[in-house]
Structure 1
Amino acid sequence: MLNKAQLIGFTGADSEIRTTHKGKKYAVLRVATSRYTKKEGERQDFTTWHQVEIWSPGTVKWLEGRVLAKGTKVYVEGEIRHEQYTDDKGQKHYFAKIVVAGPGHELKSLDRPETNPEPEPGEEG
């Protein structure tokens, strides 16, 4: 089975490090991708926003030492996960996110590739 997503886009906010209630660190990014069409000679742009969670320890550690600033061009490779939550009014909400957590998953800055993290042992990059 294959569950793989690849994105090239721009960060919509600075990267953020969070900690679970059990003390595990992970990073969160919002990434915008876009496509365009031409209709009657006019270009129409369409932007899609993606929530990205990074759980790979080496990449989280790399992000702790720097911030991927808003507007940074990035490459993301991970898997698609679908989640749901119930709000205060009892209404269910569904969303998808890209998760960078396993071998073959990665996050790279395309603006400054020389600063990208090295894969951890057991992670492919």
Structure 2
Amino acid sequence: MYLNRATLIGYLGNDAEVRNGNNNQNFTTFSVATKTSHKDKESGEYISHTEWHRCIVFGKFGEFAATLKKGAHVQVEGEIRHTEYTPKKAKKPVRTDSVRVTSILKLDRAEKASADEQEFDEMPAEEEAE
């Protein structure tokens, strides 16, 4: 038996973006931030780390995903995909990991969520894929 499934709960770093693929098929991309923390043994302080996950949605479901805005609190489910492409100005292919989304649930966000929940490290700039 094999299983390739990812479940993420986090916040969108930017508005979702509709793109057009090589075969003229539209798809929607967005990035979800998740955060983990651990207690530093020496200082006793909590140290947090933000992880960014690139998400891709195809088909009619992508139309819904295109309405998602920066800061939206979502639960995303899908499968992990590894792809290689060569950016226009690069000589070597780049390998990227993404989640091919099969389910999105918009989570209710309390009007005054704690600042700790809303803070995350800046999203790194994406390289142009074409």
Q: Distance in 2 between matches of 1:80 and 1:108?
A: 18
Q: TM-score, normalising length from structure 1?
A: 0.75
Q: Distance in 1 between matches of 2:94 and 2:86?
A: 6
SS at 1:62's partner residue?
Answer: helix
Contact 2:28 2:63 in 1 (8 A): no
Match for residue 111 of structure 1 among 108, 116, 119: 108
- 2:69 corresponds to: 69
- Matching of residue 91 in structure 1 with residue 92 in structure 2: yes
SS at 2:83's partner residue?
Answer: strand
**1:1-125 counterparts in 2 under 5 A?**
1-39=2-40, 40-55=43-58, 57-64=59-66, 67-87=67-87, 88-100=89-101, 105-111=102-108
- 2:123 corresponds to: none
CA 1:86–1:24: 2 relative to 1, 3 Å: closer
Q: TM-score, normalising length from structure 2?
A: 0.72
- 2:115 corresponds to: none
SS at 2:4's partner residue?
Answer: coil
Contact 1:85 1:92 in 2 (8 A): yes
CA 1:82–1:9: 2 relative to 1, 3 Å: same
- Count residues in correspondence: 105
Structure 2 residue runs of 5 or longer lacking an equivalent are 110-130
Identity %: 34
Structure 1 residue runs of 5 or longer lacking an equivalent are 113-125
Contact 2:9 2:73 in 1 (8 A): yes
